[in-house]
Amino acid sequence: MTPMGRPPHPLRQFVLKMHSRCDLACDHCYVFEHADQSWQGRPIVTSNDVLRDTAERIAEHARTHALDTVHVVLHGGEPLLAGRIRLRRAAEELNAALDGVCALDLRIHTNAVTLDERFLELFDEFDIKVGVSLDGDKAANDLHRRYANGRSSHDRVLRGIALLSRPQYRHLFAGILCTIDVRNDPVAVYDALAELAPPRVDFLLPHATWDEPPPRPADDTDGTAYARWLLAVHDRWTADGRPMDVRVFDSILRTLRGDSSLTESLGLAPADLAVIETDGTFEQADSLKTAFDGAPVTGMDVRNNTLDEVAAHPGLVARQQGLDGLAEECRGCPVVRSCGGGLYAHRYRTGSEFRNPSVYCSDLLRLITDIRDRHMADQSVQPALADHHLDELATGLGAGATTSLLDHHQLALGRELLGLVWHETPHTRLGESAWKTLTVLDSTAPESVDRVLSHPYVRPWALRSLRGDAEAAETAMRGVAEIAAAAALRAGLTETVVVPVHDGMLRLPTLGVLAVGDTAEQAEVRADADGFTVRAGGQTYEVPWKEPKVPAWQGSRRFELDGWAVALEDTDPWRDCHGHPAHPRLTEVEAEAWRADLTAAWAWIRRELPQYAAGIAAGLRVVTPLLPSADGSDISSAARDAFGAVAIARPATPEALALLLVHEFQHVKLGAVLDLTDLYDPSCEQLFYAPWRPDPRPLEGLLQGTYAHLAVIEFWFARRRSAVGDDARTAEVQFSRWRDQTAEAVATLAESGALTPSGQRFVAGMRETVRAMMTAQVGADVLGEARRAAEEHRLAWQAR
């Protein structure tokens, strides 16, 4: 167990040292030129026994932890110096040991100066991917990557890459690793690498510590020279159409949207890498060699120790603690989830050791915030949906897994918006304290933070906070404290969180509100064994989780139906975003009536529209009651910025409620799709006829309405099967009318000339769903009645 009481994370990445010497004398090499000089006492080449024992240890670890894939890099020194026979032996041992256990991703990283066709034939036989070190054009590369006699290595590296780029070997090319030197022209370096058409480029900051800082230009007064160098590359890469992956930029974009990093130098993912030296000793990451002599040592080896023992080594465990493992000043940083404190080795300083920000702290802050701001403008931070997900959603459906994917990306967007609120608005003392609590919780109880950030009405709060007007800062800091308090209560955190009170109410998103009186300015909130305690305005409120009877407490009502958990939200002040007045707090009798109707409507959906049930169960977590209309007509709404919620005035029957649920959840899904994928040209200003609206609609409005009516058609198709008498006739007419008019709307969308290629594909999928419904037979009298209703609507629309 780790010091935090958690089992250590399993290891998935392994660097296997094949040879401990090199045929180049690069003066920036961390193996030979930095603090740790243990290479001098290592065997020159690894032995067959070490290869066998290593393979068995990796297989043992993979079997114990049911790993699906392990990643092994053959490394050095220069691994090609080990020769083809020894490299073949490594591949054979690893493949044999892992056969039937898990997949093997086997790679080699080389300087490529001796790479030839015989090596490539071997690599092709075992599907060994090849990464190459190259620092750019000849001038840039020769600053550091030379032979011991000073001779350039550039031409020989290019010859090796040319061999690797031949059609028969191109599939083996993993990419290029380039170490930055800010004296080099960033655009020239990028252009030289891009000309080689690698699938990926990895730009590395030169290894440095606070004891041995990186070289900087004399005019680098703000400590951002490396950020500016990388941003110049980023701009060139973007202008060039991003022809290859760039790991540092891709990792920043991934972490900004809540995904994992692609490199250990960014993000908060736990370390999962071990090194096996040529003598069989286990070490930590090679980059630690830059910190001090002996920094990577574990005192373990492949003969006597398991990889579980290695994973539990204090040095590795320290790099698996997320926010807990960072310096205090890092935890409250607005880009901490992307930066992650930087590469562990780069934090080292004698005395405080690794409990420091990165020596590149200023560079990382500038790099991440600038990339975030640039990509927020064109929404490229959001990930695009895969084609098969888009195709599935285009049918009007969306399985549980696909809807959960939308939910995942909405959570990432919520996290991003929370970070923007914190970064863009002035801080208060209470806000800073709450933010600190949130950062701690995000490490120790991230599921509690996610639960609160997934609340549909967090996003409306965040967008209001970012308006920049006089009320924005107060709204922002109050909301941060509310989110922190709610997450703390869900996690059972016994530390007190202080929250500003607004209009006499303490808001705890996902939990409810507490009326503390107009005189209270702030409330102290703390979890206890059976619930939580609030002190505000000179009063103490003890609220138990089970059967709370505190009159001032208005808790969220959560219904556990058969396969669907849904909250009836009648307390959150930010729920008033649906374009219709929200119903005030329901009485117990009213709430029970809602429970009964939701239970019956859900049973109807599961029975009659099972194709929609899984998506609703996965993505619809809140129903917000609305005030009824004056004329008794049904009212329902889905807010564009409140994923996971629909608002409904309670209708007369459970069947009508079922219709409103499936209808509005279509809007919820499509809104999430539009957050991820551009389906139309936003500059289109044309207005269109929508058969279900009295007013002309912009293109997105028509798209939303048409998509919702795919479910409406399905509802009436199912309803005509189950209804009898006059209800059956009504269902027949409604089905006929909305089928034909939805088909007309789909045609209007397809012919608008404003759809993107993804939009054309999406609308084509919608057309297929309608086309399948067109084969259903209806009576001539029903068809006539439906067409008369449609014509009356169009005439009224034209006469408006």
pLDDT digits (tens, 9 = 90+) for 45-104: 999 999 999 999 999 999 998 888 899 999 999 999 999 999 999 999 999 999 999 999
The DSSP secondary-structure symbol of 132 reads E
Residue 376 clears pLDDT 60, i.e. is over it: no
| DSSP class per residue in 475-499 | HHHHHHHHHHHHHHHHHT--S-EEE
Instruction: Give the whole-angstrom CA distance, residue 297 versus residue 575.
Output: 55
When pLDDT is cut at 50, 70 and 90, the band that residue 2 belongs to is very low
pLDDT computed for residue 16 by the predictor: 97
- Helices (H), ranges, 523-562: none
| Domain shared by 726 and 654, yes or no | yes
| Domain shared by 603 and 507, yes or no | no
Instruction: Give the whole-angstrom CA distance, residue 727 versus residue 720.
Output: 8
In three-state secondary structure terms, 420 is: helix
| Domain shared by 369 and 436, yes or no | no
Residue 416 domain flag: no
How many alpha carbons fall within 13 Å on the CB side of residue 105? 10
| Domain shared by 213 and 253, yes or no | yes
Instruction: Give the whole-angstrom CA distance, residue 694 versus residue 540.
Output: 53
Closest CA to 352 of 327, 319, 324: 327
Instruction: Give the whole-angstrom CA distance, residue 51 versus residue 74.
Output: 11
pLDDT computed for residue 665 by the predictor: 98
Residue 404 domain flag: no
pLDDT computed for residue 375 by the predictor: 65
pLDDT computed for residue 6 by the predictor: 45
| Domain shared by 645 and 719, yes or no | yes
**452-507 pLDDT, tens per residue?**
999 999 999 999 999 888 899 999 999 999 999 999 999 998 899 999 999 999 99
The residue-averaged pLDDT of 732-745 equals: 96
The residue-averaged pLDDT of 320-340 equals: 83
| Domain shared by 159 and 307, yes or no | yes
Strand order in 557-560's β-sheet?
557-560, 565-568, 622-625, 645-648, 636-637
When pLDDT is cut at 50, 70 and 90, the band that residue 200 belongs to is very high
Instruction: Yes or no: say if 506 and 523 are a contact pair by the CB < 8 Å rule.
Output: yes
pLDDT computed for residue 270 by the predictor: 81
pLDDT computed for residue 204 by the predictor: 94
In three-state secondary structure terms, 539 is: strand
Residue 400 domain flag: no
Quote the tokens at residue 330. Answer: 């890092």
- Helices (H), ranges, 212-349: 225-239, 247-256, 307-311, 314-318, 328-331, 336-339
Q: Which of 527, 555, 583 is the last residue of a domain?
A: 555
| Domain shared by 536 and 589, yes or no | no
**250-276 pLDDT, tens per residue?**
888 877 766 667 788 888 778 889 999
Tokens 């060039």 sit at which residue?
Answer: 240
Residue 72 domain flag: yes
Quote the tokens at residue 684. Answer: 């289109």
pLDDT computed for residue 83 by the predictor: 96
Residue 17 domain flag: yes
Residue 563 domain flag: no
The residue-averaged pLDDT of 771-785 equals: 92
Rg for the chain, CA atoms, rounded? 31
Exposed / middle / buried, residue 418 (Cβ in 10 Å: 0-12, 13-18, 19+): buried
Residue 371 clears pLDDT 90, i.e. is over it: no
When pLDDT is cut at 50, 70 and 90, the band that residue 318 belongs to is confident
CATH code at position 325: 3.20.20.70
pLDDT computed for residue 7 by the predictor: 57
Residue 402 domain flag: no
Q: Which domain, by its residues, includes 613?
A: 575-798
pTM greater than 0.75 (yes/no): no
Q: Which of 491, 523, 555 is the last residue of a domain?
A: 555
How many alpha carbons fall within 13 Å on the CB side of residue 528? 12
In three-state secondary structure terms, 53 is: helix
Residue 8 clears pLDDT 90, i.e. is over it: no
Question: How far is residue 284 from each of residues 29, 288, 356, measured CA to CA in Å?
Answer: 17, 7, 19
pLDDT computed for residue 351 by the predictor: 92
Dihedral sign, Cα of residue 93, residue 99, residue 102, residue 103? positive
The residue-averaged pLDDT of 393-403 equals: 90
pLDDT computed for residue 382 by the predictor: 44
Bigger pLDDT: 329 vs 395: 395
pLDDT computed for residue 420 by the predictor: 86
Q: Which of 491, 524, 555 is the last residue of a domain?
A: 555
Instruction: Yes or no: say if 508 and 482 are a contact pair by the CB < 8 Å rule.
Output: yes
| Domain shared by 90 and 169, yes or no | yes
The residue-averaged pLDDT of 116-133 equals: 96
pLDDT computed for residue 259 by the predictor: 63
Three-point CA angle 464, 706, 407, nearest 5°: 45
| Domain shared by 164 and 282, yes or no | yes
| Tally of domains within the chain | 3
| Domain shared by 548 and 596, yes or no | no
What stretches of 189-340 adopt beta strand conformation (E)?
200-204, 245-246, 273-276, 281-283, 297-301
Q: For the chain, what percent of residues have pLDDT higher than 70?
A: 97
Instruction: Yes or no: say if 252 and 367 are a contact pair by the CB < 8 Å rule.
Output: yes
Closest CA to 431 of 489, 473, 501, 478: 478
Instruction: Yes or no: say if 208 and 180 are a contact pair by the CB < 8 Å rule.
Output: no
pLDDT computed for residue 378 by the predictor: 47
Residue 390 domain flag: no
Exposed / middle / buried, residue 634 (Cβ in 10 Å: 0-12, 13-18, 19+): middle
Residue 1 clears pLDDT 70, i.e. is over it: no
**Average model confidence (pLDDT) across the chain:** 91
pLDDT computed for residue 396 by the predictor: 94
Tokens 């609308």 sit at which residue?
Answer: 763
| Domain shared by 481 and 435, yes or no | yes
Residue 712 clears pLDDT 70, i.e. is over it: yes
| Domain shared by 642 and 764, yes or no | yes
Residue 617 clears pLDDT 70, i.e. is over it: yes
Instruction: Give the whole-angstrom CA distance, residue 715 versus residue 457.
Output: 28
List beta partners, residue 300. Answer: 282
Quote the tokens at residue 12. Answer: 């998935």
How many alpha carbons fall within 13 Å on the CB side of residue 169? 23
pLDDT computed for residue 709 by the predictor: 97
**593-613 pLDDT, tens per residue?**
999 999 999 999 999 999 999
pLDDT computed for residue 306 by the predictor: 96
